[in-house]
Chains A and B, each alone.
Chain A
């Protein structure tokens, strides 16, 4: 009768049986089934099933639920015991623990430092609240098939953007480029970096005002100072509404004070901001360009309107310059675009019309190194733990025999590794805290420990757990797999292949270390090679000053005669730019043999006739400028690259035409390295200076001490050039600064490489001592039958030497490939020499032997009687 009424739901039955006391199952299932058939007869099958479920759920009552027999009721105690055993293990084997924790701490410290560095790099410019919508206007232009980029924008573009595209931009701010100006309060004068900007700048950059408002630049004769600069200028006085002089020309009232911008802001060096109109009023040269579309003189920053999308606006403005330039310049096909603030720092380079990365390379490079160094430390941990596994095999066997599950053993080993990682992490935070000032100096950063940052602690916790899991995974999975019977019977022997993973890990470690060492050496080789590059002038004893006033020019002969007479200075000269900067590039030069339609471009500097003697340039042909020959006003000096560029066979006396004037080539000098020393020198023309130079260079007499010479020069300057602070630069120091980036990378890389090899050696040391200990008896017997200490040392060291050799074989092509790639970015670059690889291999082997030998010799020297008696 009830057959046709279906069956109770199987799943519900299974659920019931999963928790129901076994002795109840018969009666309860019976009762429920009776109920089920009755309901399905009376109502429907569906209702019956539903009711069955209801009844099952209602049986989940204490009396009916099966008691779990073997559930440990005290997990806390278990974990306490794990930590206690772990703690005891740490102290029982102090040597191993030291190597383990020390290595891991070093690795973690590196990882944390790199993490902080990367975070700082990624948060560059984020101080500005409009970070997401600020952009710099740039253009790309092509000449003879090559594409170039510039952020030097034509002056009228600012107004054009603000008017014709007013719906797309919240603000358009024109600004001068950041450069030094003299700011003086009475007699205290300082040369400080600053910008002249349009009045919307403070709002756009969201400056944090501590005096005045964001409207501070509305008046023409106003200026905003950074907090720290105001303090140097006025001390404890209230600087607001005081008047300072800029470049001894313009008076400006202090209408605003802003908090110093953090070091990871593009504008962190900007000590003052003054209105652009003030610059126009006091600098005649820029006035000439106010309506000129084909000359770039100004920087333009924009903030997009809330709805506007960067790419759309970029597309909209693409032809705005092109449409305005004179017909003759259309051939450059100038394309205007926006470069967003988020890319200013990390993606600042352009190549062939595209944004080509930049600093972000280092983020990747150091990120990779950080991960690898940490990995090395984890590998150490794994290696030493597995090496010691035989000692703990008995423990595992007993634990298993008295009822431990494998999962429990795994959690035991994981918690042990977590314990070690926590210890190591505590150490590493200490190391980072101590190393941070030093690291900041090398990396040129201002990173502080983010003690209060939630993100920091969350990522640290995640980092600890992750490292604990990675470091503990191998021992946890491996140790827990032992078979208790075999272990306890003593039959457990790591098989022939048990040490293979360990060996692979050692090879991995040394591959990374050797690669890092080779990399570091090549970086330094490149730096050294470039430092030794002939620069075409003599850097030593050459100083230069930036002129912000015309005082030197106006008294040039007096100053020159006085200084030379004093015997401290050999020569003094004026020029447009210093010997360490490139100055301006110009086209439109005509010469005999120039291909028609060729768009030429020359680097140019304007110099007074004494310039050559002052900087010490070297002639390959012709002669220098001379004040005595009046016609030299129409003469030029070119460099060797220019001769090649113009294709002149006999350049001296050749006449070139530029800006509607004829210029006779007087002489040819060797290429002077004025730009990046890593790049090829450009074709350069030196023209006679007809106006006050921006820079004065002085050649100091080698017979006087620099200190003495500077004092004399200063007193002479004080007399004739009172309006200017005596801020001088040594040419050799400024030249060395061109290597800052590379030196920084080299230093950081060498620190990381040293740590990597140190960590690897720690691991090797631990392994060697383990092997020596394991083979104590074997060594004893070998000694008895006549092996010498040397034989034994060779036997024990051989294994490790082979491993290191293998990693060298892997590392050499790897590093060759990557560094060759890295070198390609430099036009002036060294060849990778083979001796570097040789030295590295020999060095790695030596370090390995030294590390291993200590243990090997100790084991080999042991008295065999002792080692054989010990059990």
Chain B
């Protein structure tokens, strides 16, 4: 479990990187996070998490294209690594396993209450 431990915020960010695909750079991810969760987050905080996830090997990044609305500056595009995908899956499986042990929901694989 130790290596795969993901915080809630980290997990969401990781998923968002997957969702955004080609557009996964700090600003966009932060925007998407706010849109999806309704919670405010600064670009710095997002960037910090992305950096951490990259250090753990769940993400990789490379510099992308420059666009006009960013003053001609390039962006860093993040993509999920194989390890990242596995960790996400493990996390999901682990939670599913927990759900199944919960008597009130056992058998009903229905997430909506």
> Which residues on A are within 8 Å of B, measured CB to CB?
2, 26-35, 37-38, 54-55, 58-61, 63-64
Contact = CB atoms under 8 A, between A and B. Distances in A.
B51 to A, nearest CB: 5
Contacts of B25: 27, 31
Q: Which 8 A-B pairs have the closest CB atoms?
A: A30-B73, A58-B44, A58-B42, A30-B70, A31-B27, A59-B44, A27-B76, A63-B51
Contacts of A32: 27, 43
11 contacts: A26-B63, A27-B75, A30-B75, A31-B26, A32-B27, A33-B69, A33-B71, A33-B73, A54-B42, A55-B44, A61-B45
B86 interface: no
Interface string B25-65: 11100110000000000111101100110000000000100
Contacts of B69: 2, 33-34, 37-38
A29 B48 contact: no
Interface string B57-95: 000000100100111011110000000000000000000
Contacts of B70: 29-31, 33-34
A414 B26 CA distance: 50
A37 B72 CA distance: 13
A34 B51 contact: no
B47 A64 contact: yes
Contact of A27 (B42, B45, B73): B73
A55 B73 CA distance: 17
A28 B25 CA distance: 10
A799 B69 CA distance: 78
B112 to A, nearest CB: 33
Contact of A35 (B43, B52, B66, B74): B43
Contacts of B51: 63-64
A63 B48 contact: yes
A469 B51 CA distance: 49
B74 A26 contact: yes
A29 B66 CA distance: 12
Contacts of B47: 28, 31, 59, 63-64
Contacts of B45: 58, 61
Contacts of A2: 69
Contacts of A28: 26, 43, 47
Nearest to A26: B73
A557 to B, nearest CB: 114
A227 to B, nearest CB: 75
Given A29-B70, A54-B42, 18 more contacts: A27-B63, A27-B75, A27-B76, A28-B47, A29-B71, A30-B66, A30-B75, A31-B47, A32-B43, A33-B69, A33-B71, A34-B27, A35-B43, A38-B69, A58-B44, A58-B45, A63-B47, A63-B52
Contacts of A64: 44, 47-48, 51
A669 to B, nearest CB: 104
B71 to A, nearest CB: 5
Max count, chain A CB within 10 A of own CB: residue among B43, B44, B63, B75: B44
A10 to B, nearest CB: 13
A64 B45 CA distance: 10
Contact of A29 (B31, B44, B52, B73): B73
A64 B47 CA distance: 9
Contacts of A27: 25-26, 63, 73-76
Nearest to A41: B69
B34 to A, nearest CB: 11
A38 B70 CA distance: 10
B73 to A, nearest CB: 3
Contacts of B63: 26-27
Nearest to A54: B42
A14 to B, nearest CB: 15
A37 to B, nearest CB: 6
Residue among A27, A35, A58 having the largest count of chain B Cβ atoms under 10 Å: A27
B62 to A, nearest CB: 11
A59 B42 CA distance: 9
A359 B48 CA distance: 73
Contacts of A30: 27, 66, 70-71, 73-75
A5 to B, nearest CB: 11
B69 to A, nearest CB: 5
Contacts of B26: 27-28, 31
Nearest to B73: A30
A19 to B, nearest CB: 12
Nearest to A7: B71
A29 B31 CA distance: 16
A9 to B, nearest CB: 14
Given A27-B26, A35-B43, A61 B73 contact: no
Given A55-B43, A61-B44, A64-B48, A35 B73 contact: no
B43 A31 contact: yes
Contacts of B74: 26-27, 30
A686 B66 CA distance: 117
- The interface centre, meaning the residue of B52, B66, B74, B76 with most chain A CB atoms within 10 A of its CB, is B76
A30 B74 CA distance: 7
A839 B63 CA distance: 90
Contacts of B76: 27
Contacts of A33: 69-71, 73
Nearest to A63: B51
A30 B27 CA distance: 9
A64 B30 CA distance: 17
A37 B31 CA distance: 13
Contacts of B75: 27, 30-31
A63 B48 CA distance: 7
A61 B44 CA distance: 8
B40 to A, nearest CB: 10
A788 to B, nearest CB: 83
Contacts of B44: 55, 58-61, 64
Please indicate which of the listed interface residues A30, A38, A60 has the most CB atoms of chain B within 10 Å of its own CB. A30
A860 B34 CA distance: 90
Contacts of B52: 63
B30 to A, nearest CB: 8
A446 to B, nearest CB: 69
Contacts of A34: 27, 69-70
Nearest to B64: A27
A360 to B, nearest CB: 66
Nearest to A2: B69
Contacts of A29: 70-71, 73
B87 to A, nearest CB: 20
A59 B30 CA distance: 13
Contacts of A60: 44
Contacts of B42: 54-55, 58
Nearest to A62: B48
